[in-house]
Amino acid sequence: MSGLVLLKSIIFYLEVTKIVNRNISQMDKRLEELPKLAEGVKKENKKYFANLKKRTPKNLDYVMQDIHEKEFAKTDCLTCGNCCKTTSPIFTERDTDRISKHLKMKVVDFKNQYLESDKDDFMVLKTAPCSFFDEKDNTCFIYDVRPKACSEYPHTNRKKFIQITDLTISNTEVCPATFNIVEALKKHFPFEPNKKIRR
């Protein structure tokens, strides 16, 4: 590699690092503000979703998928990781079988080491952040075999979205993308569904 090419590569690497660091510090600020922001619109969101349940638009799932995709095109989870830091997914039997196998552990040992039952008798992590979370770069040690709940989080693009509006409101306190998605949804359907349509 010539000196000039090497210099260009170093400058490129430094620029990329600068952008990544800037995005991380913007995200840190956002995560600090998020609980207060989410609390501030919680009542409004509850009312909005209660109304939306009464008159659910037929294309709601398609709209949600579109908003979800647009949001995650600009939100990089690797600058965030807040779900892995603060909440636990539910581990199904399939999840525990798959992950134990991957870790070459007996299922019973895996459960004893990492999981406990919550008040609803679901298997959840004993600790937060998640034991499989790498805080250095917000990655997951078991990404390829992670629980289904992790791969589907924050569930804003799932079918029959209207059934999980309470969960979505809770997720606005943890997930900045979910907060933005709900705000975008309110803009997309700014109607008051209870209002009679004037003809």
Give the residue with the Cβ less far from ligand SF4, 8 or 22. Answer: 22
Give the residue with the Cβ less far from ligand SF4, 63 or 140. Answer: 140
Q: How far is the CB of 189 from ligand SF4 (least distance, A)?
A: 22
Give the residue with the Cβ less far from ligand SF4, 115 or 176. Answer: 176
Give the residue with the Cβ less far from ligand SF4, 9 or 25. Answer: 25
DSSP readout, 102-168?
Answer: HTT--HHHHHHHHEEE-TTS-EEESSSS-TTEETTTTEETTGGG--HHHHHTT-TTSTTGGGGHHHH
> What residues make contact with ligand SF4 under the rule CB under 6 A?
75, 77, 80-84, 89, 130, 132-133, 140, 142, 146-147, 150, 153-154, 174-177
Q: How far is the CB of 113 from ligand SF4 (least distance, A)?
A: 14
Cα pseudo-dihedral 106, 118, 121, 53, rounded to 10: -130
Q: How far is the CB of 134 from ligand SF4 (least distance, A)?
A: 8
Contact 77, 68 (CB under 8 A): no
Task: Enter the DSSP assignment of 99.
Answer: H
Q: How far is the CB of 5 from ligand SF4 (least distance, A)?
A: 36
Q: Spell out the alpha helix ranges (H) of 55-81.
A: 60-74
Distance in angstroms (rounded) separating the CA atoms of residues 83 and 88: 8
How many other C-beta atoms are found inside a 10 Å radius of the C-beta of residue 180? 19
Give the residue with the Cβ less far from ligand SF4, 52 or 80. Answer: 80
The secondary structure element, H or E, covering residue 100 is helix 93-102
Q: How far is the CB of 154 from ligand SF4 (least distance, A)?
A: 5
- The encoded tokens of residue 171 equal 């997720």
